[in-house]
């Protein structure tokens, strides 16, 4: 196993919300022989891979050293919510595939994603999100449809495709959500993503640092999270989940502002146009610089 894969896995998990990890003990003596209570072991176990154990330890040390920023990333507001219907989950043969496709299409935009159910729409503060996406959710109960309508009537915005909110749980036709000013129609998965990002731009909640990835026609491979410190600097975490090197370019959303980047794990200044290898982690502080 490549140690970079271990670091990327742990780093991504903790920035996404994992707060604790179960570890193991080193069952060998100083000379490498197995301790009496260490078990038999085998060639593929962690006890036989000291580089992997060291990488886990090193990654957890780095995460703990920057726990304040990592916890802040875990608790980021989720401006985009994906509507989840138990009714569609019951009636459709593979409902999670459609949910996965939508989630994946937005996962690499650097925007925290969440979900919204009927109960969430009815009981949680709508200020916690800016737009709800309804994708291939054909079956809904009358109450689920009404929860969406009430959300729209109270000033919420939804983006919906033509395949959604078509019938109730018994396949009977139902009325869709009204108020066209706050109900946007998407004709494809890509169109829905574009409309969602436009909504966030209008709200002014897009990341202050734009991370562009040279894709050469392929799917994006880097995903990131950002938080703003009390002193105004930006901390940016990027993980390359792709299978090829990723050529990145970081710039301010305010085009006239110059930036400087420092690797928080090494304390060394880094380029604003780094190249990340597969499973490589970039954890940087972004400062404003004089033009």
Least confident of 30-44, 82-96, 167-181, 232-246: 30-44
Q: Confidence band (pLDDT; 50, 70, 90) for 2?
A: confident
The per-residue pLDDT of the chain, averaged, comes to 89
**Pair of tokens at residue 279:** 């499973």
Residues in the chain: 291
What pLDDT is stored for residue 124 in this prediction? 92
Domains of the chain: 3-74 (no CATH), 80-203 (3.40.50.880), 209-289 (2.60.40.1180)
Per-residue CA distances from 149 to 46, 138, 178 (Å): 53, 16, 7
Q: Is the pLDDT of residue 46 over 80?
A: no
Q: Is the pLDDT of residue 178 over 70?
A: yes
| Distance separating alpha carbons of residues 225 and 169, to the nearest angstrom | 38
> Each residue of 49-74: pLDDT tens digit?
778 888 988 999 999 999 999 999 99
CA-closest candidate to residue 149, choices 124, 172, 175: 175
| Distance separating alpha carbons of residues 152 and 245, to the nearest angstrom | 43
- What is the model's pTM? 0.88
Q: Confidence band (pLDDT; 50, 70, 90) for 217?
A: low
């Amino acid at each position: 196993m490549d140690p970079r894969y271990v670091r990327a896995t742990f780093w991504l998990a903790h920035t996404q919300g994992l707060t604790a990890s179960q570890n193991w003990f080193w069952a060998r003596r100083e000379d490498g022989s197995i301790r009496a209570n260490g078990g038999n072991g085998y060639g593929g176990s962690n006890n036989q891979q000291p580089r992997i154990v060291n990488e886990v330890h090193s990654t957890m040390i780095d995460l703990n050293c920057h726990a304040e920023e990592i916890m802040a990333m875990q608790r980021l507001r989720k401006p985009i919510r994906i509507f989840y219907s138990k009714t569609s989950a019951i009636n459709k043969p593979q409902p999670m595939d459609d949910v996965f496709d939508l989630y994946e299409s937005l996962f690499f935009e650097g925007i925290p994603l969440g979900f919204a159910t009927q109960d969430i729409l009815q009981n949680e503060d709508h200020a916690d999100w800016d737009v709800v996406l309804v994708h291939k959710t054909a079956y809904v109960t009358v109450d689920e449809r009404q929860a969406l309508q009430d959300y729209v009537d109270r000033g919420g915005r939804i983006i919906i495709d033509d395949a959604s909110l078509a019938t109730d749980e018994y396949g009977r036709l139902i009325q869709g959500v009204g108020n066209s000013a706050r109900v946007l129609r998407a004709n494809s998965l890509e169109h829905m993503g574009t409309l969602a990002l436009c909504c966030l731009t209008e709200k002014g909640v897009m990341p202050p640092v734009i991370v562009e990835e040279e894709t050469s026609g392929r799917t994006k491979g880097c995903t990131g999270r950002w938080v703003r410190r009390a002193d105004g600097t930006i901390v940016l975490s990027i993980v390359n989940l792709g299978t090829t090197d990723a050529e990145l370019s970081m710039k301010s959303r305010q085009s006239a502002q110059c930036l400087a980047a420092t690797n928080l794990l090494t304390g060394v200044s880094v380029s604003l146009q780094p190249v990340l290898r597969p499973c490589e982690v970039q954890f940087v502080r972004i400062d404003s610089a004089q033009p």
